[in-house]
Amino acid sequence: MSEKLALPEWLNVIAVFDTETTGLILDESRIVTAALHLVDASGNVITGGKDWLLNPGVPIPPEASNVHGVTDADVINAQSPQEGVAEIVSAIQGYFDQGIPVVAYNAPYDFTILHYEAKRYGIDQLNFGNVIDPLVIDKTIDKWRKGKRTLTAAAERYGVSLENAHTAADDAIAAGQVALAMMRFYQALNDPKFPFPTSLEELHELQARWADENEKSYAQWRQKDYPDYKPVFGWPVKQLS
């Protein structure tokens, strides 16, 4: 896995972000918990991150609670969504403004939900800096690997410990550690089809293109059984409307 390879300086510090929510419908689901932390190039957590527990303002469906373990009773006295979402957006924007990339595994899930949460409460949208999405990179540079592409599977693939899956903080930190290990793998791959990027900006642009290519390929596969299926493009925010 070439884990000892030195990464470029632009990966010396990364922010890691994850949410747990009320569901999977991107423009309707509400944030229940969120985590935003800093990780160094060795995968060690740096002090200064934050975790949020929000009262989403709607009942948390049992199927969502079964995944992340947070129930309506847990959020009765939690932070309001208006205040919490504003804090999350502000904290992420702060890292973008400092030139720090934000890692999110399956970024369009977290960032699209955050987009609509901000819109719901009249909060200014993110002015995006650079995002790193290990799922997009994994599907592209290791396309033919068999098996699932979940964070748990990726953590196992790259030797990252993930003891409490579906808790925002543990998932965020594991995603960052997976991203760093994956970037070392990418660097060592030395594949002319996928030259290693020279900057965060180049990596961001590559992922945007790869995400569209992956979505197009997935849509073509779905259309074999569902001819009316339409691809939904957009990375790191889905273009739903």
What b/e string do you get for 185-210 counting C-beta neighbours within 10 Å, with b at 16 or more? bbbeeeeeebebbeebeebbebbbeb
Out of 3.90.550.10, 3.40.50.460, 3.40.50.620, 3.30.420.10, which CATH number does the structure's domain 9-222 have? 3.30.420.10
Q: Could you tell me the residue ranges of all domains in the chain?
A: 9-222
**C-alpha to C-alpha distance for 50 and 36, rounded to whole angstroms:** 5
**pTM for this predicted structure:** 0.94
Per-residue pLDDT of the chain (241 residues; tens, 9 = 90+): 444 678 999 999 999 999 999 999 999 999 999 999 999 999 999 988 999 999 999 999 999 999 999 999 999 999 999 999 999 999 999 999 999 999 999 999 999 999 999 999 999 999 999 999 999 999 999 999 899 999 999 999 999 988 777 789 999 999 999 999 999 999 999 899 999 999 999 999 999 999 999 999 999 999 999 999 999 999 999 988 6
Compute, in degrees rounded to 10, the torsion defined by CA atoms 239, 103, 37, 119.
Answer: -10
